[in-house]
Structure 1
Amino acid sequence: MTHESRAAWRELLDTLRDLDRSFLEGDKAVTDDRHVADGYRMLATTLGVALDTYLFADPSRPQWLEVNSPWRPDRRWGGDNTDAIYYMCPVDPERRYRISGNRGDSVYFSVTAYNEPSPGAWSDRIVALFRDDELDFDADGNFTLDFGPVPDAAVLMTRDYQADPHTGKRVTWQIEALEEPAPFRHGDDETAAALRASAAWLRTMFAIVPLAVGVRNDDAHNLGHETNMAANDFAAPYQVPDFNFGWSARDACYSYGSFDLAEDEALVITHRPPACRFWNLVVWNQFMAVPGVRDARSSVNGHTAVPNSDGTVTVVLSRGMTKHPNSLTTLDYPRGNLAFRWFLADQVPEQPRVQLVKIADAPDRVS
């Protein structure tokens, strides 16, 4: 007897066997042993998220799945950060759901509904957004909202940003389906489809990562119309549109950068935060994950940063720590990526300014 789930399982194993080529071979190959190890950790992380989302989830019996967390090393992926907790819940576009909870100490939270172009494919469109300033709260901070049916909605994702998630009270979330659940069945066809969707999810992730770091300006060369991305710099900030690949936040502006640092070097990063609900700068490895630990500082936000006298904020990034109040460490990673995000900014922020200096020449105080 032929079982489709057996064939799908072997396809998933084939996918896992070959995905390390994305970070070991070709133009995207990483160059240090830490990133090689991170590549295998990201394989395990992404597999866990994929199986939670596709193999074990049931949209007629919904539950929130923790997919990004500052406390779980196995839930750092896809552009995570140390200030936020994200949950995901697959949904049926024809069903009605009730979402409830308590706002806790969140400085920004929302629920976003995304589409799914095909099973396991990453979203390319935001189909609905519910933000904290659009909800009604009782005296204790409790809220309730109804969702659905919404055509093309495939998954809900929550965002909860905290000034300090280690001391603040996180948002609590509940979700219930308002219709009777579908008949329970985990048969051969359903399992095969879930495994194939999981494999598709994995392949998409490793088509994106590892991210390029680029070349240092002192190593750059002119190739005419081809322009290399420069290391130790940031791209111009942009506002997220409704049609956007992946799970970006519609309320956010982003600016991405990279670092390539010797042991005695630092980046001096200065930006002027616009009026906004929340902003942060986080250090990523080349797999869009914060490699940080709680006893080291790999991010800074608008609540923890010490501003300069003119309202700008300067951050000093190095492979260790410096005396600057806004010092960040790469945890001795020589190369990696950086991400600014600004939520509900009144305008697209100015491009951050970056200087590459010797650590001995980096500022040790705000100006």
Structure 2
Amino acid sequence: MSPSPAEKRILDGSLWHDFCDRLKAAGDLLLREGTPDDAFDRAEGYRYLTRLLRAGLESQIEFGDPRFPGFYQLSNETIKIGNDNPDNVYWNTTISGAYEYRLSGTRGSVHYLSFGTRSGGYEADGEMKPTGQLDGTDLKIEPDGTFEIAVSCEPRPGNWLPMRPETSHLLVRETFLDRSLEEEARLKIERVDPDGTNRLDVENFEAGLQRTLSFVEGTANKFIDWMNRYSAHINQLPSDDQETCQRAGGDKNIHYLQSYWKLEPDEALVVDARRIPNCSSWNLQISNYWMESLDYRYHRACVNKHNAVYNPDGSVRIVIAHQDPGERYPNWLETTGHRLGGMLFRWIEADEHPPVETRLVKFADLAGLD
């Protein structure tokens, strides 16, 4: 039997050469109009592409077969996408509406937990459209702390996470108020009535490499587009288009206020949440230009409902600045050497979504600020 076209490309090396050539060309995305032109931000951009490549290989090669699902992370401490939440642990898996799955585990004590199925993908149509959701508050848990969820297109008794025929991904969000006090959920997913063997298929491998590159290109382009859109309201925090956020993978229980911050060395951005509604949580984070959360392992890049210091009237003031503004402003977010980037305020399971005010001031004027 003569080799297939994919086998020929494997054998003559052209598959790998084409992969590397296309990856090389992806670097030009960082040169798009409106992107930063200084060496620091550009270097972070190239690091961002290496991170997207890692995420793409994990999602499209190692865990890309919906017949053999397993959890991986598109965002974590060193892979960051689309203003990823520093208070979150994210888990992803590749699934298909053609199959049925069993998701099991232990709930743990994490403050907020949700399971969502999605269609599309940044490697496909640039979106992750919702096709079903099950919230942790609706999860039926056994006395021993375990649970089981049916993931299927057809309804099932007990815990059911809906899919549609076009479903392609599953996303789990775990949101912490205090990581030191809360226990993460433990999760496992398997296909009901599995068949076949998980043997590498040449055609699927070639397709996975192409999807990996499409993921790198699609993700980078998407969030550069978003930052260009946010540049119309620099240093403000308006409500984002919620439908757009949902189609990008957002949670239906979260209201997103999203924008672009930019500070000169002698400036600070004052953010006032004057009214805190009844809510599961809220947080404000800052990111770099590429919409990667700043390194929250070593710096304070996020403040939330639990760790914020409140004013006597219940309001919250947060200061984004290049240097510590002192004891008067305990809710300081560190820019860690960045002069600009993305920012995102979330109202999580809130009864209402009050506006959040911002003021650009001179750092020296913080001492006399009302």
Moved more, 118-127 or 130-139: 118-127
Q: Distance in 2 between matches of 1:364 and 1:188?
A: 67
The aligned counterpart of 1:20 is 27
> C-alpha displacement at 1:274, in angstroms?
2.4
The aligned counterpart of 1:221 is none
Amino acid at match of 2:37: T
Please say if 1:148 is aligned against 2:152: yes
Contact 1:107/1:162, CA 8 A, preserved across alignment? yes
Equivalent residue for 1:266, pick from 261, 265, 268: 268
> C-alpha displacement at 1:180, in angstroms?
1.8
> C-alpha displacement at 1:333, in angstroms?
0.6
Contact 1:30/1:210, CA 8 A, preserved across alignment? no
Partner SS state of residue 20, structure 1:
helix
Partner SS state of residue 11, structure 1:
helix
The aligned counterpart of 1:236 is 239
| CA separation of 1:113 and 1:213: change in aligned 2, threshold 3 A | closer
Segments of 5+ residues of structure 1 without an aligned counterpart are: 216-226
Q: Distance in 2 between matches of 1:320 and 1:18?
A: 38
Contact 2:74/2:92, CA 8 A, preserved across alignment? yes
| CA separation of 1:26 and 1:145: change in aligned 2, threshold 3 A | closer
Contact 2:126/2:222, CA 8 A, preserved across alignment? no
> C-alpha displacement at 1:211, in angstroms?
6.0
Equivalent residue for 1:341, pick from 331, 343, 346: 346
> C-alpha displacement at 1:118, in angstroms?
9.4
The aligned counterpart of 2:108 is 104
Contact 1:22/1:28, CA 8 A, preserved across alignment? no
Q: Distance in 2 between matches of 1:214 and 1:98?
A: 41
Q: Distance in 2 between matches of 1:213 and 1:115?
A: 24
Contact 1:28/1:211, CA 8 A, preserved across alignment? no
Segments of 5+ residues of structure 2 without an aligned counterpart are: 154-162
Please say if 1:306 is aligned against 2:312: no
Contact 1:316/1:362, CA 8 A, preserved across alignment? no
TM, length-normalised to structure 2: 0.86
Contact 2:122/2:214, CA 8 A, preserved across alignment? no
Contact 2:122/2:219, CA 8 A, preserved across alignment? no
Please say if 1:90 is aligned against 2:104: no
Contact 2:272/2:317, CA 8 A, preserved across alignment? yes
Contact 1:11/1:196, CA 8 A, preserved across alignment? no
Please say if 1:132 is aligned against 2:136: yes
Please say if 1:79 is aligned against 2:83: yes
| Structure whose residues are more often helix by fraction | 2
Q: Distance in 2 between matches of 1:310 and 1:140?
A: 42
Partner SS state of residue 279, structure 2:
coil
Q: Distance in 1 between matches of 2:105 and 2:276?
A: 31
The aligned counterpart of 1:33 is 39
Amino acid at match of 1:10: H
| CA separation of 1:112 and 1:186: change in aligned 2, threshold 3 A | same
Please say if 1:206 is aligned against 2:208: no
> C-alpha displacement at 1:288, in angstroms?
1.1
Q: Distance in 1 between matches of 2:285 and 2:123?
A: 31
Please say if 1:361 is aligned against 2:365: yes
Partner SS state of residue 168, structure 1:
coil
Q: Distance in 1 between matches of 2:252 and 2:266?
A: 39
> C-alpha displacement at 1:106, in angstroms?
1.1
| CA separation of 1:245 and 1:109: change in aligned 2, threshold 3 A | same
Contact 2:34/2:228, CA 8 A, preserved across alignment? no
| CA separation of 1:19 and 1:158: change in aligned 2, threshold 3 A | same
Percent identity, aligned pairs only? 24
| CA separation of 1:274 and 1:11: change in aligned 2, threshold 3 A | farther
| CA separation of 1:247 and 1:327: change in aligned 2, threshold 3 A | same
Amino acid at match of 1:188: V
| CA separation of 1:191 and 1:237: change in aligned 2, threshold 3 A | closer
The aligned counterpart of 1:252 is 254
Please say if 1:197 is aligned against 2:211: yes
Q: Distance in 2 between matches of 1:306 and 1:191?
A: 51
| CA separation of 1:26 and 1:40: change in aligned 2, threshold 3 A | closer
| CA separation of 1:181 and 1:164: change in aligned 2, threshold 3 A | farther
Q: Distance in 2 between matches of 1:338 and 1:146?
A: 36
Q: Distance in 2 between matches of 1:364 and 1:14?
A: 56
Aligned residues: 349
| CA separation of 1:322 and 1:105: change in aligned 2, threshold 3 A | farther
Moved more, 118-127 or 277-286: 118-127
Moved more, 279-288 or 142-151: 142-151
| CA separation of 1:118 and 1:16: change in aligned 2, threshold 3 A | closer
> C-alpha displacement at 1:123, in angstroms?
3.0
Q: CA deviation digits over 1:249-293, x for unaligned, max 9? A: 122110112221122211110123322212111111011111224
The aligned counterpart of 1:222 is none
Contact 2:260/2:341, CA 8 A, preserved across alignment? yes
Partner SS state of residue 23, structure 2:
helix
Equivalent residue for 1:332, pick from 337, 345, 358: 337
Q: Distance in 1 between matches of 2:187 and 2:368?
A: 42
